[in-house]
């Protein structure tokens, strides 16, 4: 009678362990991309920063492009979870002021600039990644604010032919003197008092142009 060897056990990864390891790799890679940029980051350096072997790294991500895409996807999800209060019943001035401050704090948070800079740098080479970031972070926020502004225009508080254009104009005016110096590393992340000062000016300017007469 022929004896058959027992089949070798198959190694499996528990779902929670798999998610935890993936997060560990993404967190390590984010730091490397932020410090070295996309071109300067190597899979070996990322593996060391994440505390895993290169073999483990390649189990989760086929190459550096896929890993960077995962980081951008996570950034989109995290920013998408930020809830701005666009209750259409709220008054315009309060809503714009609160949104403006929260938006700039999110955009200029101490660990956020490098992610935006890296996406900007790689967008020409990986346009799908740049578009995904824009659609899920900037355009989505503009759409939500535009919907609120249109509701207030329908209510009679505002007068504007294009609510989404007005939304983007407000988002841009809130960035004045804050975002560009920050994103180009000319200045550190702005303090809350400075953000409030700029946003307050932006609200006054916006309402001067769009408040219903």
> Diameter of the chain by CA atoms?
98
Chosen domain end from 61, 93, 116: 61
Whether this model's pTM surpasses 0.95: no
Q: What is the mean pLDDT of the chain?
A: 87
In a domain, 54, yes or no: yes
Residue 1 lies in a domain: no
Alpha carbon of 32 to those of 16, 49, 50: distances in Å?
Answer: 25, 7, 9
Same-domain pairing of 47 and 81: no
When divided into structural domains, the chain yields a total of: 2
Judge whether 2 lies within some domain.
Answer: no
Q: Quick: pLDDT tens for 155-165.
A: 999 999 999 99
Those residues with Cβ within 8 angstroms of residue 86's Cβ, 6 or more apart along the chain or in another chain: 95, 99, 144, 145, 147, 148
List the CATH number of the domain containing 167.
1.10.357.10
Question: Are 94 and 187 contained in the same domain?
Answer: yes
Split at pLDDT 50, 70, 90, the class of 82 is confident
Residue 3 domain-assigned?
A: no
| Residue 69 covered by a domain | no
Tell me which of 187 and 76 has the higher pLDDT: 187
* pLDDT (tens digit per residue) in 27-80: 899 888 888 888 899 999 999 999 999 999 999 999 998 998 888 888 777 776
Residue at 130 is within a domain = yes
Is there a domain that residue 72 lies in?
no
Is there a single domain that holds both residue 45 and residue 93? no
Query: Contacts by 164-172 with C-beta closer than 8 Å and gap 24+?
Result: 166/206, 166/210, 167/142, 167/143, 168/142, 169/206, 170/96, 170/100, 170/145, 170/202, 170/206, 171/103, 171/138, 171/141, 171/142, 171/145
DSSP 78: H
On whether residue 133 sits in a domain, the answer given is yes
Q: The domain containing residue 28 runs over which residues? A: 15-61
């Amino acid at each position: 009678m022929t004896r058959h060897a027992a089949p070798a056990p198959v190694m499996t990864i528990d779902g929670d362990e798999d998610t935890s390891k993936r997060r560990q790799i993404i967190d390590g890679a984010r730091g490397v991309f932020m410090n070295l940029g996309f071109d300067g980051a190597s899979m070996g350096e990322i593996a060391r920063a994440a505390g895993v072997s290169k073999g483990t790294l390649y189990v989760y991500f086929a190459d550096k492009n896929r890993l960077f895409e995962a980081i951008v996807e996570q950034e989109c999800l995290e920013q998408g979870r930020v809830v701005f209060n666009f209750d259409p019943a709220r008054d315009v001035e309060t809503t714009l002021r609160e949104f403006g401050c929260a938006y700039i704090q999110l955009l200029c948070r101490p660990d956020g600039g490098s992610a935006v800079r890296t996406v900007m740098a790689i967008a020409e080479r990986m346009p799908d990644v740049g578009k995904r970031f824009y659609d899920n972070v900037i355009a989505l926020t503009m759409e939500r604010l535009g919907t609120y502004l249109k509701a207030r225009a329908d209510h009679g508080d505002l007068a504007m032919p294009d609510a989404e254009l007005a939304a983007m104009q407000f988002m841009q005016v809130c960035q004045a003197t804050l975002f560009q110096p920050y994103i180009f590393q000319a200045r550190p992340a702005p303090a809350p008092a400075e953000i409030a000062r700029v946003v307050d000016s932006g609200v006054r300017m916006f309402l001067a142009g769009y408040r219903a007469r």
